[in-house]
Structure 1
């Protein structure tokens, strides 16, 4: 029997609420499908932890995490702790130190959910592959002459050949595996960013030669944002730099009907280090503990994590049950126009899993 070690970091706000439901769903999948077990390590790292200790995680935090296969993260962020502290104190060190260079975001409209676009589930079903450890979020730069009229901020983007090529190649492989359209769009802005994006485009075109069966094209990111809205049915896989991918995927979440249902994975494809899985809705401290947060994003993220761990049957069961619940529409949270609680949605998914088995 496979036994998987998962580090659980609920984090702040509604992260605690939704991760609780996600864990229950994983445990139900384990019971129903058999063949694997899970050992959880629960870690209290959060903004609350920061306010008590001055750190988002302990000094040996990465050492604690490295012996796990996966990290299941809720959300971080809380009033009183600046966002750059929470981000650079927890999420970015994990992504960078564990070389989680692929950020994978499915943009898929679930059955039963109304998109703000006049589109249906058959029209919105694509994946964004975002470079996750360098580019515009490399953290290189500084501020000089602070507090004077000459104060100057410099933020430097770093694009390496190895970092650029590996994310582009991953996206081509994904486009090939997904079948269907077998197409890949690269988000660029090489007309204005005459070094970084010209370099990105050149690497993209070089790698494309190895995938003659995949239709490849470059598209300026501003035009691509409009394409998301106007012609999502023509999109299969998108590859983008750290910043462009971040913005485009949040646009994709809006297309899905609610950011509360959006999942994500921060992947080290070689599995040399743990990969991290997180819903992307943020901590929403104003509704934390009220039982109204949408757990679908955390449950969908759990399905992605199970698939990454090799438990494909369990992953499919979770996803099918989750979509069956949204399609029926009886148990939806307020962000989707329903009245169900966080716990009721989680219970409905678990009950549907049992019915499907």
Structure 2
């Protein structure tokens, strides 16, 4: 049998519990003899506090050198708190805090956020994936604390026609614009259908609000119809996001791939994590045509950093997504099976009302992954 080529991974441990769950997860690579070379680099809150840049130049260079990136949880804070955390020498010098994940997604053009949702704590009753657009929608950056001069005439016309809002000038209102481009929607929908095809899903559901956002939704629906014609063997439909949220809770087994614009996808993907059992089980992938990075969805939880309390499962599942992306499917499957086995045992962290620490749960997952890896290869799992 030919040995797979060694892949190079940039590891960004992150902040808070991100660093420790990363540390406790990585030994599975050696345990399963996975052909990966790791290069570590810095990202996050400490970088910001030291140099006013949460993603240093050296980190961008490391990302470019490697095949893909594994990211631990990182800390983001509002503008006022971020500016206050800078050293005095950097305050007022034009440094602006931008979330590291936003920088990665935008600079690497990672337009698809992939969030698998599986019945880890149950009996495999459901398996679906939320695919969220990463670069447009209401998170496109067109968010204004007052009404821009270019938009003011439009609002005045609407007010003359009897608009229901009240304001007193441009400073008396704020506005956010939902941007959807043809190119952005084509690549999003094509990715969703391709993902469904590759992962044996039979239906793609577009989550939107067509009964309210009539024109932008109709624009997206027309493009969806065009792309869906390329995949005639996969069914598709359009549903209101609020209805999808209800049915994700009531009947999650009815879904295959759910695809949505940025904010709607953000909401549904976290709801999916709740259905799984919490953010401690929620992995994610951020994928573009030429780059990708993988991160657990939970936050950095600085209050719990160093206390051996965080659930490492999401980081193991994130590593599994990374391995699957690289074609290392045997190891990816073994890690996923191990997480499921341990999650259903009494060896649980505090978020699942357990008494075991991060390290102990991670070690149990690694031991189980070794068993599944060997058993799967012998065909006896």
TM class by shorter chain equals 0.7 to 0.9
2:377 counterpart residue number: none
Check the 8 A contact 1:57/1:89 in 2, yes or no.
no
2:135 counterpart residue number: 133
Superposed displacement of residue 345, structure 1: 0.8
| Equivalent in 177, 180, 188 of residue 198 of structure 2 | 177
Q: How many residues align?
A: 338
Runs of at least 5 residues in structure 2 that lack an aligned partner in the other structure: 84-95, 149-168, 375-381
**Structure 1: how far apart are the matches of 2:134 and 2:56?**
23
User: What do residues 185-215 of structure 1 show as CA deviations (whole Å, max 9, x unaligned)?
Assistant: 1101122223322211111122222222212
Check the 8 A contact 2:207/2:260 in 1, yes or no.
yes
**Structure 2: how far apart are the matches of 1:84 and 1:197?**
36
| Equivalent in 316, 321, 343 of residue 359 of structure 2 | 343
Q: Which has the higher strand share?
A: 1
2:5 counterpart residue number: 2
User: What do residues 250-292 of structure 1 show as CA deviations (whole Å, max 9, x unaligned)?
Assistant: 0010111111110000012x3x23x110000111111111001
| Equivalent in 215, 230, 234 of residue 195 of structure 1 | 215
Check the 8 A contact 1:105/1:263 in 2, yes or no.
yes
Q: Is 1:88 matched with 2:98?
A: yes
**Structure 2: how far apart are the matches of 1:83 and 1:252?**
30
**Structure 1: how far apart are the matches of 2:131 and 2:207?**
10
**Structure 1: how far apart are the matches of 2:74 and 2:196?**
32
Secondary structure at 1:50 match in 2? helix
Secondary structure at 2:222 match in 1? helix
TM-score, normalised to structure 1's length? 0.88
| Equivalent in 140, 145, 163 of residue 184 of structure 2 | 163
User: What do residues 82-139 of structure 1 show as CA deviations (whole Å, max 9, x unaligned)?
Assistant: 68989834111111111111111001121xx2xxxxxx43322111111112222111
- Cα–Cα, structure 1 residues 83 and 61, in superposed 2: closer, same or farther, change >3 Å? farther
Q: Which of the pair has the greater relative contact order for Cα pairs under 8 Å at 6+ separation?
A: 1
**Structure 1: how far apart are the matches of 2:70 and 2:170?**
45
1:221 counterpart residue number: 241
| Equivalent in 206, 209, 215 of residue 186 of structure 1 | 206
User: What do residues 216-253 of structure 1 show as CA deviations (whole Å, max 9, x unaligned)?
Assistant: 11001111111111111111111111111110010010
Check the 8 A contact 2:42/2:56 in 1, yes or no.
no
Check the 8 A contact 1:124/1:232 in 2, yes or no.
yes
2:369 counterpart residue number: 353
2:318 counterpart residue number: 301
Superposed displacement of residue 61, structure 1: 4.0
**Structure 1: how far apart are the matches of 2:76 and 2:182?**
37
Q: Which shows bigger deviation, 85-94 or 135-144?
A: 85-94
TM-score, normalised to structure 2's length? 0.83
Superposed displacement of residue 348, structure 1: 0.4
Check the 8 A contact 1:331/1:340 in 2, yes or no.
yes
Superposed displacement of residue 330, structure 1: 2.9
User: What do residues 142-163 of structure 1 show as CA deviations (whole Å, max 9, x unaligned)?
Assistant: 33489x9824433222211111
Runs of at least 5 residues in structure 1 that lack an aligned partner in the other structure: 114-119
Q: Which shows bigger deviation, 248-257 or 72-81?
A: 72-81
Q: Is 1:102 matched with 2:103?
A: no
| Equivalent in 262, 266, 279 of residue 246 of structure 1 | 266
Larger of the two Rg values belongs to structure = 2
2:279 counterpart residue number: 259
**Structure 1: how far apart are the matches of 2:263 and 2:97?**
15
- Cα–Cα, structure 1 residues 61 and 352, in superposed 2: closer, same or farther, change >3 Å? closer
2:166 counterpart residue number: none
1:122 counterpart residue number: 124
**Structure 2: how far apart are the matches of 1:52 and 1:123?**
47
